[in-house]
Amino acid sequence: MTTFLIILSLLSLLFLLLLNRFNSGQKKIKNEWNTSSIKPFGDFGSTKKLEIIPIIDWLTKSNEFIGEPGVSYLIKTDKTSILFDVGYNKEGESPSPFQHNMEKLEIGTDDFDTVFISHNHLDHVGGMRNQKKKTFSLGNNAIDLSEKEIFTPIPMTYQNKSSQCNPEPFALKNGVASIGSISNFDFFMGRIDEQSIAVNVEGKGIVIIVGCGHQGLKRIIERTESLFNEPIYGIIGGLHYPVTDSRIKIAGIKMQKFLGTCREPWNPYLPSDVEENIAFLKARQPKLVAVSAHDSCDASLDAFRAAFPTEYRDIVVGERIVIS
């Protein structure tokens, strides 16, 4: 009985510490957001064509590709090609799912000039070991990326090379910009700094490419609208709506319902929350909506399909999304 009481006391203390940290972190994040001064972009150029090639995501076109609860996209414009995140590689396979799919897609490291990491989470940097070391990897073996530009939302390294870290919005390439790091605070994981890409497609508007959406859809949209005069044409990527299920499970626990939501664990996302965010996005009348299945459940994806019957597209490894 004494041992039980000691364990219960320790768990209670841990819970109170986490709750206090969460409340303090959320208060700080909200203050940062409310006091931030964002200057609108001037002319940062445009691209006539935008092509997004999913390399890693949950859904695949066929069994020749490997799906996993991670993200990696190759973003191609008229003048640049950007590798957006590098997937998960949960099992530490060699070749990694990323490398396997790259080969099947006939894509090599010569096909991109820039690496853009949305945020330092295991499913976007190639595993937990990389997350802890604040680095990323394409596979188990070292791959030379010394000639690539590397942009990260927090200070990170790759093979002893420091990344370019700028938390503010900045022009990345002609017609391509980072909307800047938008922070949030998670109950278990602590502070999350995540950046997204905005591409200005000529004659259409801004396409937003998101990693996990820990920032929250509303803040992503509001930041984008404060930066650009062009309308929002579309949004592609992860938005983290694990309402009924989770792609990552440990001992049967639906981990994504509790990790990364930036809510108290007893206050998970509900279908009504998804509908509220859908209504917020729908008011912008986007022409393209593609939500990643890597961190959103099937019920949430179905809700987006129903709300955007002609605009919605699944993100599928082996199927390219082309806007021109």
Q: Which domains does the chain have, with CATH numbers?
A: 36-323 (3.60.15.10)
Cα 313 from chain centre: 17
Question: What percent of the chain clears pLDDT 70, i.e. is strictly above it?
Answer: 100
Q: 268-303 pLDDT, tens per residue? A: 999 999 999 999 999 999 999 999 999 999 999 999
Whole-structure pTM over 0.85, yes or no? yes
Half-sphere exposure at residue 180, Cβ-oriented, CA atoms within 13 angstroms: 22
Average pLDDT for 101-125: 98
| DSSP assignment string, 162-198 | EPEE--S-EEEETTEEEEEEEEEEETTTEEEEEEEEE
Residue 202: per-residue pLDDT: 98
Mean pLDDT score across all residues of the chain:
96
- Average the pLDDT over 165-181 and give the result: 96
pLDDT at 144 over 90: yes
Q: Is the dihedral of CA 288, 77, 205, 124 positive or negative?
A: positive
1: pLDDT strictly greater than 70: no
Q: pLDDT tens across 199-252, in order?
A: 999 999 999 999 999 999 999 999 999 999 999 999 999 999 999 999 999 999
